[in-house]
Amino acid sequence: MPKKRKSRGRSKGSKGRTEFVQCSMCGALVPKDKVKKVTTWRSLVDPQLERELRAKGAFIPRQKVLKYYCVSCAVYRGVVKVRAKEERKVARPLR
């Protein structure tokens, strides 16, 4: 079978086997080095109230929300884009 990518779509290098995580959308078990990880911060307070409290100088706690997406769900959600063959060969800069 032909190889589409040099890394086979994974970032493990020569580490061997990696653990599996569950996709947040479809529930599929995907190797941890292959999933697309999305980190968002969720405030526990209403946005309008949060703005008023911040203006007064209050500390508003936030909660870190981690979501793991398999490749197909990440494409569907717009986390990653489908790229042309030539564009895949060019390394993208880190965010």
pLDDT value of position 95: 60
pTM attached to this predicted model: 0.74
pLDDT value of position 30: 95
Q: 30 forms bridges with which residues in the sheet?
A: 21
The tokens for 74 are: 């990440």
Phi, psi dihedrals of residue 31, rounded to the nearest 5°: -55, 140
Its CATH architecture, for the domain 20-87, is 2-Layer Sandwich (3.30)
pLDDT value of position 66: 96
